[in-house]
Structure 1
Amino acid sequence: MPHVREHTLDGTRGPIAVREWPHPAPRYLALVVHGYGEHAGRYDGLAAVLNAHGAAVYGPDHVGHGRSAGERVVIEDFEDVVTDVHGAADLARSAHPGLPLVLVGHSMGGLIAARYAQRHGAELNALVLSGPVIGAWELPGRLLALPEIPDVPVSPAALSRDPAVGAAYAADPLVWHGPMRRPTLEAFVRTLETVEKSGDVGGLPLLWLHGDDDRLVPLPGSRTGVERLSGGRLTRRIFAGARHEVFHETEPDRAAAFAEVRRFLDRTLPGRPPNGPCGTAG
């Protein structure tokens, strides 16, 4: 497991915890944007792959998530979360000025990353979306139509075909194991509409990864959003039988997802990858 440093930033609604997986001489920066109810610490595996590929990796815990301040899983405005993520990017750039910046967003983090790219795309060199909440996502509307939000947490089995992933998720004290919150659902609806109306990301290279058995963020609805967001430089990889978290899937899909990210970055980032196994597409 890679070495980790912890930082605290002044966020829009209180202190934000930022996890750093440092690199002694990085050639680029990677910013990991986690999903609903979880935290950046669940991305140690992805961070290790990106470290080996030459990245200094940073990951904020969003307001109300993980080690950050705020009422649990309550997000009243995703624009504030984008601003917090931008603060984490500033932290990374201040430590390593002039390096290319890659944004990797998973699930809810994909929505945040998409909005970030619309607001700050000129600062990015590449965008990676994994199982992104974007496009036609029907769950918030269905839940908001009910008089009370059901007390039903995310099913660990929906994350991956690997039982160990679900078991670790269920036992993680920093993961939210309760129901979705009405303010957050309302913010999802507003931000999905905002992303839809705010145009594409132009020439920003975009990699989209998704499992075709994703029952939390179904593939067809996400596809419409990703294709609308892309300005034409879209690379996609759909994994047959995979569930919501392709970076935590069973082998060989997990390794294939990591390899797709490395190949995509080798094609899109300035300069050539370093010699040796760390720079191979895998």
Structure 2
Amino acid sequence: MPFLDHPKGPAYYRHWPAAEPRAAVIFLHGFGEHTGVYHRYAFALNAAGIDLWAVDQFGHGLSQGERGDFGSIEQSSELADTLTELASRHRPGLPLIAQGHSFGSIVTLLRLLGQPDRYRAGVISGAPLVPVPGMLDNDTSFDLDPGWLSADPFYLDSLENDPLAFVDADGAPLARELDRAWDRLGADLPKLAVPTLAVHGVNDPIAQIGAVRAYAEQIEPLQLKAFDGGRHDILNDTMHREVAETIIDFLNGSI
């Protein structure tokens, strides 16, 4: 089984290779997920000639850590750095795309701000760009209703029966890191220079679309594609094919 080395411990990763890749996506998942829930998305990218590399973040999937505890933003970014280096060695010269979902989207945006020349483009989904009310109280438990995430019965069944997926954990570590990120994004996100696509569900009850729409109106490199009826896990919602096609069209114009 492939693992990335990190001082915090080994981190499991997956690589879905295209037959003749034109680009490589470096992907960071969100809370309660792991790389195994993205097979459908990976196959859609592969059919379009795009490699997907993804890592189980700390506290998730087959990687080290307490359940739901990503560690720090910097540690997540280090995993993405190592995965990027691995992808670059595997296929030298391929254009690189940074992508993230939910908490992974926050880390991805900070990476694009800090390394604007490393990636050709960025993609984010379910991005919580402003404070999430449910994470601001004194109760540190974090328990998601699966119905907030998706209406796709296949995905909901996989969440219920997948021993590596979960919807509840101590939310204190996540809230701590998001709070750090929100302070920085308010000041720095307008400086975003890398072309970035945000795909977002209009009905996302966790990371509501208003903040993403407001930023997209102010920041020229940030594009928003909203999906009516879409919930938080937009890459795995009922319109996942349309979402994947939208991302691929964007990448085709960027690579």
| Structure 2 CA distance for partners of 1:199 and 1:132, relative to 1, 3 Å | closer
- Equivalent of 1:187, from 153, 161, 177? 177
Cα offset, 1:140, TM superposition:
2.1
SS at match of 2:45: helix
Displacement of 1:163 in angstroms is 2.4
User: Aligned residue for 2:69?
Assistant: 74
Unaligned segments of structure 2, at least 5 residues: none
The normalised TM-score by structure 1 is: 0.84
Is residue 15 of structure 1 aligned with residue 15 of structure 2?
Answer: no
Indicate how the Cα distance of structure 1 residues 102 and 130 shifts in structure 2: closer, same or farther if over 3 A, else same. Answer: same
Contact 1:140 1:186 (C-alpha < 8 Å) held by counterparts: no
Residue 62 of structure 1: how far off its partner (Å)? 0.7
Question: For 2:216 and 2:64, how far apart are their aligned partners in 1?
Answer: 31
- Alignment partners' CA distance in 2, 1:42 and 1:29: 19
Q: CA distance change for structure 1 residues 215 and 199 in 2, over 3 Å: closer, same or farther? A: closer
Partner of residue 234, structure 2: 246
Identify the residue that residue 98 of structure 2 maps to in structure 1: 103
Query: Matches of residues 46-85 of structure 1 in structure 2 within 5 Å?
Result: 46-85=41-80
Deviation at 1:249, TM superposition (A): 1.8
What is the CA distance between 1:16 and its match in structure 2? 1.0
2: CA distance, partners of 1:121 / 1:206: 11
Amino acid at match of 2:248: R
User: What's 2:109 paired with?
Assistant: 114
The answer as to whether partners of 1:135 and 1:224 remain within 8 angstroms in 2 is no
Q: What is the total number of aligned residue pairs between the two structures? A: 255
Secondary structure class of the residue paired with 2:170: coil
**Does the aligned pair in 2 maintain the 1:170–1:177 contact within 8 Å?**
no
Q: Distance in 1 between matches of 2:253 and 2:95?
A: 13
Question: Unpaired runs of 5+ in structure 1?
Answer: 1-5, 270-282
Matched, 1:89 2:79: no
Instruction: State the one-letter code of the partner of 2:230.
Output: A
Radius of gyration: which is bigger? Answer: 1
Task: Kindly provide the CA deviation profile for residues 194-243 of structure 1, in whole angstroms up to 9, marking residues without a partner as x.
Answer: 23333445431111111111012111133345556x4x123221111111
TM-score, with structure 2 as normaliser? 0.92
1:149 paired to 2:140: yes
